[in-house]
Structure 1
Amino acid sequence: MKPWIERQRHLIDFTAQSLARRKGKSLGLLFVYTLLVFVLASVALYTHALRNEATRVLAGAPEIVLQRLIAGRHDLVPPGYIERIGRIRGVQKIEGRLWGYYYDSVLKANYTFMVPADREIVPGEIVVGPALERTRGLSAGNGISFRAYSGELHTFIVAAVLAHESELVSADLVLMNEADFRRFFAYPDGHYTDIALWVANPLEVRNVGVKLLGTLPDSRPILREEVLRTYASIFDWREGMMLALLSAAILAFGIFAWEKAAGLSAEEKREIGILKAIGWETGDVIAMKFWEGFLVSLFAFLVGYVAAYVHVFHFEFTLFAPVLKGWAVLYPSFALTPQIDGLQVATLFVFTVLPYTAATLVPIWRAATTDPDTVMRS
């Protein structure tokens, strides 16, 4: 085993020196190769981190959200629904929620107005999200006015700004007192936007959803697992859309890499002929060329992946973030928790390293099995 390892070490040393003699070709290929890996790894890392972040955020979400439908559209939940839901076996906790969207003509952006269940807010005051603070120049103690859809102007005092760590879900959020919310949106007493439910046994969530449909035929229960699947589908679609846009660049690289790997220059052919003439075996020549392709592709993969990691988790995916974030005006600024999926790394490695390495073996096998004199004369 040790002689074989020593043999491979010497072959790697010779391959490295051979690459150094062809700096122009090697650096050009390495740059393009690294750039491709960087782009693909950036998209994969960012999408995977967003999926994990969505899963983490929704872990504390209600297991079921119940909406009322009128003519297929979302409508207010009238009084009495909470009491009827409470009689369904398996429901542990029920909470009527108040939230709605407000269009700000100043920023041409939508805000989410909401009454928090776990926080008391003084009437006449609001708590705003970090993106709203940043774009409107707000801070604690400032006043801000919103014109309701009825035309009436409402003025509020900013009591606090939500923590920047929560910006992924609170960028456009405005929290307010229940009485202020009902007055602003003209919500009648006892009505809610929807109802949040928690189930005692997580295995019975789907059964409780079926019971809700039986008890309230005009309702639509939305399960937390369905919301997670929707987020995953959105991220998959955006990732696929971006990779589709990059498909031309990927195809161009494939052609470039194949041409570089498959086309032996006259200098390389002479080198192979000389090696065969001085006693190198066909297996040694093939192994040398294998190490050449593998070292180039492995180095490009490592540099590209590390650069993508830094780009995603330290520079907030600056180059491609607008494509995958999806917010139109109020872009949240947040730091994703570094997430690396071993299967994702292995898949990227297989699709970027192995094809180029394999492409180097076909022409070198032909040259290595040809008579040395014929190779040097060609």
Structure 2
Amino acid sequence: MITPLNRHKNILEFALSSLLRRRAKNLSLLGLYTMVVFVLASLIFFVHSLKREAAAVLSGAPEMVIQRQIAGRHDLIPLEYIEKISAIRGVATVEPRYWGYYYDPVFGANYTVMVSEARKLTPGNIIIGNGVARTQRISAGDMVTFRSASKNPLLLNVQELLNYESELVAADLILISGEDFQAMFNLPRHQATDLAVTINNPAELATIAAKIAERYPDVRPILRNEILRTYDSLFDWRGGMMTVILFSAILSFVIFAWDKASGLSAEERREIGILKSIGWETSDVLLLKFWEGTAISLTAFLLGSNLAYVHVFFLSAPLFAPALKGWSVLYPEFRLIPAIDFFQLAVLFFLSVVPYTAATILPSWMAATVDPDAAMRS
């Protein structure tokens, strides 16, 4: 007596042998199928990992940043605002931040220059990101020259390089002392770039931000969660842009796969007629075609997903990194920590495996319901 398990096993073996008899057609389909899954899975892995990396790096950012707005543009904020904002109930500390952008005409790159409160630097010493080091071709212990606000050379010593793990947001960063920052930009003495605010109770962030915006109409509170949402939107937009660019290729594959799956050749119709004539039931034929479609689509999904994993987490996604990291002279270079969005992977599975498998069953059912003699003569 044939058990259901043995029945499936026998049909699966016959399905694999049937695929091997038409290996040229099936291998070409499998290759294209794998390529499309590889591209889409790479985008999913890369975008999700960038989001997770950004969230990890920005976890140490200030809970709230206060910027002054003049005519809708970011402007310097007077230090007297510190006392006013500190008086609001629930505010723990208010610290001034000094940062700006320096354009390097030699390399055509923009650097972010910032006074570090966590790392007290003596005048004449700086800490730079890895992107700056690569662009300038310098390392720790080297001297580098910038131009000050008075157009005089500013000679600085590279004390150290920032951690490799922070390169996503610190590739273009230069940490500098307050005295050297003043010499480089000639910032007014009683003004700062913005203010970093710490709140006693994080649950009151939105409430306190609303109070600050109401009392001081010329300032704009920016919450850390808003920055994270901006990063998420940015990476989603870039990932979507890449998908749109590749849409024509994906659509061409879908049409090709549907045509191959839904159109039975004369040889396949004769094979179904022979199987029916020797006693196969219609359900057996449908099960056979189900396993054929599943074998191709599932193999393509597994191959594409594994190749995408290697491409993103071992090779740093060389195909998509320039477009998704940004367009700049200073491309951040870092290895992503493996992070997989299983929900999106499941969606990719159902969009890639299920439609193709279903497309193989309908024409097979139509051929299996035809008289065996007519099918063999076709």
> What range describes the TM-score normalised by the shorter chain of this pair?
over 0.9
Partner of 1:312: 312
The farther-off stretch of 265-274 and 293-302 is 265-274
Unpaired runs of 5+ in structure 2?
Answer: none
Residue 93 of structure 1: CA displacement? Answer: 2.2
Q: CA deviation at 1:6?
A: 1.6
- Deviation sequence 1:124-162 (CA, Å, 0-9, x none): 111111111122111122111111344222111111111
Alignment partner of 1:196 is 2:193: no
Partner Cα separation in structure 2 for residue 194 and residue 287 of structure 1: 67
How do residues 318-357 of structure 1 correspond to structure 2 at under 5 angstroms? Answer: 318-357=318-357
Identity %: 54
Report the equivalent of 1:27.
27
Detail structure 1 runs of 4+ shifted over 6 Å in the superposition: none
**Secondary structure, counterpart of 1:169 in structure 2:** helix
Equivalent position of 1:160 in the other structure: 160
Q: Identify the residue that residue 148 of structure 1 maps to in structure 2.
A: 148
Note the alpha carbon deviations across 1:242-293, whole angstroms, 9 max, x for none.
1111110111001100111011112111111110010000000011001100
Offset, 1:215: 2.7
Once the two structures are superposed, the pairs formed by residues 171-320 of structure 1 within 5 Å of their partners are 171-320=171-320
Is the CA contact (8 Å cut-off) linking 2:142 and 2:158 kept in structure 1?
yes
Deviations, residues 78-128 of structure 1 (Å, cap 9, x unaligned): 121111111011112221101000000111010000011100111011111
| Alpha-carbon distance in structure 1 between the residues aligned to 2:140 and 2:223 | 37
- Structure 1 residue runs of 5 or longer lacking an equivalent are none
CA distance in 2, matches of 1:10, 1:197: 69
How far is the alpha carbon of 1:214 from its aligned partner?
A: 2.6
> Residue 132 of structure 1 corresponds to which residue in structure 2?
132
Partner Cα distance (2:51, 2:141) in 1: 36
Aligned to 1:57: 57
Give TM-score scaled by structure 1 length: 0.98
CA distance in 2, matches of 1:58, 1:143: 30
| Residue type of the alignment partner of 2:346 | A
Equivalent residues, number: 377
Distance in structure 2 (CA, Å) of the matches to 1:315 and 1:295 = 28
Instruction: Provide the rounded CA distance (Å) in 1 between the counterparts of 2:287 and 2:170.
Output: 56
Tell me how large the CA RMSD over aligned residues is.
1.1
**SS across alignment from 2:195:** strand
Deviation for aligned residue 1:227? 1.2
2:34 partner letter = T
3-state DSSP of counterpart to 1:353: helix
Letter in 1 for 2:61: A
Shift of residue 54, structure 1, vs aligned partner: 1.2
How far does residue 58 in structure 1 lie from its aligned partner after superposition?
1.6
Distance in 2 (alpha carbons) for counterparts of 1:80 and 1:302: 61
Which amino acid in 2 is paired with 1:22?
R
* Matched residue, 2:94: 94
Distance in 1 separating the partners of 2:83 and 2:27? 71
